[in-house]
Amino acid sequence: MSIYSHRTMSENAIQTIYPNNCADGKGLIRCLCFVGVLLLVYFSECTFSTAQSAPLRVGSKRDTESVILGSLTAAWLKTRKIDAVYRGDISGGTQVLWRALLHGDIDVYPEFTGTLAREILRDEKLTTIAALRERLAPLGLTIGEPLGFEDNYGIGMRAERARELGLTRISDLRAHPTLRFGFSHDFLDRADGFPGLQKRYGLPQQSPLGFEHELAYRALAEGRVDAIEVYTTDAEIDVYGMRLLEDDLQFFPRYEPVLIYRADGLAGRAQGPTMPAAAREALRGLEGRITREEMMKMNRRARIDKVPESEVAATFLRGKLGVTAAAEQDSRWTEIAQRTKEHLLLVLISMLFAVVVSLPMGILAARLPRLGQTLLGVLGIFQTIPSLALLVFMIPLVGIGRTPAVLALFLYSLLPIVRGTTTGLLDIPAALRESAEALGLSRMTQLFRIELPLASRSILSGIKTAAVINVGTATIGALIGAGGYGQPILVGIRRDDIGTILQGAIPAAVLALLLQGVFELIERLVRRPE
């Protein structure tokens, strides 16, 4: 920032206004120190989280049932003296968790047999555990025995509405083409979801709405949709008095939860350490232990009574398996502090790299207008990629967690800064550029002492735009385990709990405003006296 700062009027004594070059040098050193500390924090966290004594990392998809199972698995392992940690921050849909497992970002997660067969391995004939294991082995993965209950897909309606229309089976839906469907995004996309169902039953209904699974129930209750997909262990089936339509053409496969992890002695493509024998033995202790009623009850406690999933899991372990697991629950303020730190790191690191890369790009674009146009065009295309899509593209390249999020935020920040730099430089009056040239200053001196300072306002406003957008976009990072304010927002959506959502949304808004304020302050300092 020091190259943009100017001496002020108050320094009036001639000695003090005589410039000394080291003033700029000191500013630069301070900047470099700041950058160094930032990078140190970033990388130290990266290495600590992956390398240090390596506890088993249990992941789960982000629906309530999966979170309970993931939390329960980690807590169970700990009672068996296995160092394990539930990585609630790595949450997402099927693809995110599957790739995280292949990539070595997590060690185990609960998955459903039906999903494995249809969505992941794409082979409907894989209906037995043995067949699945055989198919997973070449990938370096294996699964345990089912955990007990079945959680099949079903189509549910409000009981009274179904009664009105006389609907009991899914095939009955054919006669009512105007019924509105609301499905989870996952279900809408998957081969074993709506597309397959529609084909099997020849359903005429068009363009179903996409919801987070938990929100679909609310849409149903409010009468905004007529039918939604449910999991047969969902607590809401009872709570909302719903009718499950019979799957008369047997479209839905059996969905039994199993724990999937990397296996020993298999030369598969999965990266990362395999499951130690002691841990495998411990995981076996959960097989066949959870009934459908128990799972429904746990879902109900978490979803309806808003008890944190970790506590629900601990209660089950205590009641059913007779072991005491400590429910991990941070206080609200530690949580906010942690999320703030994560969010700030995401924003600052991505901004730092973006500034370092964008400034030279902007300078180049100003010097070579044709190249500049191409460059801005390409960066404009990046800007149009939806953030969620960009994040998911990154997973096969750099895994999950903070790195892909930083990378995505970095890409989004380039355009505003490059554009600010280019515009700022091109807007310098020709007379000033010529004066600098006629003075016989070197290109570098002209750039650093004249052109960049004159363009600084435009550059700063580009950085400000990027930073404010960045703060908002960074909340999406929680979907792929980057943490930050998106984490409470996701948890809040899952629990249908506005308080928890606000715990992420308010600090994110405050941070955006704060950043805006800081930049306005800097702009004021940079502004020349009139």
The residues that touch other proteins, with contacts defined as CB under 8 A, are: 6-7, 9, 11-12, 14, 17-21, 431-432, 434-442, 445, 449-450, 453-454, 456, 528-530
Question: What is the CA 207 to chain-centroid distance, rounded?
Answer: 26
Cβ contacts of 380 within 8 Å, gap of 6 or more: 415
Q: Which of residues 17 and 356 has its CB atom nearest to other proteins in the complex?
A: 17
Kindly report the backbone phi and psi dihedral angles of residue 205, in degrees, each rounded to the nearest multiple of 5, phi listed first: -65, 135
Closer of 238 and 434 to other proteins (Cβ) = 434
Buried/exposed 159-187: b ≥16 CB within 10 Å, e otherwise: eebbeeeebeebbbbeeeeebbbbbbebb
Which CB sits closer to other proteins, 238 or 437? 437
Q: Least separation, in Å, of the C-beta of 513 and other proteins? A: 29
Q: How many of the other CB atoms lie within 10 Å of CB of 202?
A: 10
Instruction: Quote the least distance from Cβ 359 to other proteins, whole Å.
Output: 17
Q: The tokens of 36 are what? A: 């160094």
Q: Which is nearer to other proteins, 292 or 449 (CB)?
A: 449
Q: Where are the alpha helices (DSSP H) in 304-331?
A: 309-316
CA distances from 68 to 47, 186, 423 (A): 28, 19, 52
Q: Which residues of 472-487 are buried (b: 16+ CB within 10 A; e: fewer)?
A: bbbbbbbbbbbbbbbb
- Whichever of 200 and 457 has its CB closer to other proteins, that residue is 457
- Find the shortest distance in angstroms from Cβ 22 to other proteins: 12
Task: For residues 412 and 339, give the distance between their C-alpha atoms in angstroms, rounded to a whole number.
Answer: 21
CB of 437 to other proteins, least distance (A): 6
The Cα–Cα gap between 273 and 291 comes to 31
Q: How far is the CB of 529 from other proteins (least distance, A)?
A: 6
Closest to 471 in 3D by CA, of 460, 456, 486, 458: 486
What's the closest the beta carbon of residue 37 comes to other proteins, in angstroms? 30
Give residue 441's region: left, alpha or beta (phi > 0; psi -120 to 50).
beta
**What count of residues does the chain have?**
530
Q: Which is nearer to other proteins, 413 or 456 (CB)?
A: 456
Q: How far is the CB of 500 from other proteins (least distance, A)?
A: 48
Nearest-approach distance from CB 454 to other proteins, in angstroms: 6
Q: Closest CB to other proteins among 400 and 428? A: 428
> 23 or 514, CB closer to other proteins?
23
Handedness of CA 301, 306, 307, 308 (dihedral sign): positive
Nearest distance from C-beta of residue 25 to other proteins, angstroms:
13
Q: Which is nearer to other proteins, 23 or 239 (CB)?
A: 23
Contact 244, 155 (CB under 8 A): yes
Residues 488, 490, 496, 498, CA torsion sign: positive
Pick the closer one to other proteins by CB: 14 or 51.
Answer: 14
Nearest in space to 140 (alpha carbons), one of 13, 270, 35: 270
Tokens for 62?
A: 């982000």
Could you tell me the smallest distance in angstroms from the CB atom of residue 2 to other proteins? 13
CB contact burial 306-339 (16+ within 10 A = b; e otherwise): ebbbbbbbbbbbeeebeeebebbeeeeeebbeeb
* Residue placing its CB nearer to other proteins in the complex, 14 or 277: 14
Residue with smaller CB distance to other proteins, 73 or 421: 421
Whichever of 332 and 527 has its CB closer to other proteins, that residue is 527
Q: Minimum Å distance from CB 433 to other proteins?
A: 10
b or e along 393-415 (b: 16 or more beta carbons within 10 Å of the residue's beta carbon)?
A: ebbeeebbbbbbbbbbbbbbbbb
- Shortest approach of other proteins to residue 20 CB, angstroms? 8
DSSP letters for 177-218: TTPPEEEEHHHHHSTTTHHHHHHHHT-----PEEE-HHHHHH
The alpha carbon torsion through 475, 476, 479, 481 (nearest 10 deg) reads -50
What is the smallest separation between the CB atom of 446 and other proteins, expressed in angstroms?
Answer: 10
Do the Cβ atoms of 129 and 143 come closer than 8 Å?
Answer: yes
153 burial (CB, 10 Å; 0-12 / 13-18 / 19+) is buried
**Amino acid occupying residue 177:** P
